[in-house]
Structure 1
């Protein structure tokens, strides 16, 4: 029997971003395994509180959004484990299995100059040096040594997908407040 910890219901902050999920209980003292959606989960590890939503699939042991204070999160082997002062037993940790973890954007570490969070690039307009619209960033792909912008643009009423490597050789500038990227790229590439 899974016994849900008493977690306060709350609203999901408007700037919250999904950063991982709770995989399963770990040990007998209320620790749980965490699956991070980033290879470098700084925001997940820095946030003093997570916002949990129930699993999208499978058993749902709670509804709505709950706030989970984080006592400790650390690497264990090649994964993360965490604990909360509100989760005191294995049964309570098991009740959180599958929960989606969101972190308020204010808890994300400041990006270094010239570095960007993927979430900030989504929706930006991409133009080339001549001002020709190339599309809107709809996704990013990690291809190993580089990241690729996946753009979508409507041409003759049909969506057309374009990919541009997100590297200095092709990207001239990123203007987050202006929601634009200038690229050294031609529409016929």
Structure 2
């Protein structure tokens, strides 16, 4: 017998961003732990609706996309815990283990001046002040206090990686509309 909570099928919004996954049940009242993917999980706290998809690997308790109404999400020690009226007990919370959490982009709090969501930087082309193409942002890494852009580029017919610290000292300008980042960086660094 499945303890799957009664979740409504939904269509993943076009602007949905994957922000984390459900890690495990927490306590006995249907709360669950969430593993956030980024160091700025505000969207998990502000969005009242999370869109869930089954884990890519392992047992699937549901298929397609379902919508979860979040009653409360908050930080607890070093993780995030959340509760939903649809998840009534520990069994229901356990049934969601591994589910991927997506939030519609419109529910993200507005980034402050000079702040960017990682998701917005992915795929941007990076050029230096001289206009030399350095690569395309394919990933970001948090290394302690700073974020590092991981660029992919081709050299000698092979896919290479270049790392540039995402700090004011090296990044002159982020042009989201123009999908470019201008960096004070040389190709041979």
Give the alignment's TM-score, normalised by structure 2. Answer: 0.94
Mark the CA change 1:85 to 1:142 in structure 2 (over 3 Å): closer, same or farther: same
Count residues in correspondence.
189
The 8 Å contact of residues 172 and 182 in structure 1, kept in 2 or not, is answered as: yes
Q: Tell me if 1:175 matches 2:156.
A: no
CA distance in 2, matches of 1:4, 1:148: 40
Q: Report how far residue 164 of structure 1 moved.
A: 1.4
SS at structure 2 position matched to 1:151: strand
Distance in 2 between residues matched to 1:55 and 1:22, nearest whole Å: 9
Q: Structure 2 unaligned segments of length 5 or more: list them.
A: none
- Corresponding residue for residue 142 of structure 2: 142
Worse-superposed segment, 121-130 or 143-152 = 143-152
Which runs of 5 or more structure 1 residues have no equivalent in the other structure?
A: none
> How much has 1:6 moved relative to structure 2?
1.2
1:1-189 equivalence runs, <5 A: 2-189=2-189
CA distance in 2 between partners of 1:76 and 1:145 (Å):
21
Post-superposition offset of 1:155 = 2.5
Q: Cα distance, 1:23 vs. partner?
A: 1.6
Contact 1:2 1:94 in 2 (8 A): no
Distance (whole Å) between structure 1 residues aligned to residue 50 and residue 111 of structure 2: 20
Give the secondary structure class of the aligned counterpart of 1:44.
Answer: helix
Is this contact kept in 2: 1:42–1:108, CA < 8 A? yes
Farther-moved stretch of structure 1 (111-120 vs 88-97): 88-97
In structure 2, the residue corresponding to 1:88 is in which secondary structure? coil
TM-score normalised by L of structure 1? 0.94
Distance (Å, rounded) in 1 between the aligned partners of 2:147 and 2:13 = 28
CA RMSD of aligned residues (A): 1.4
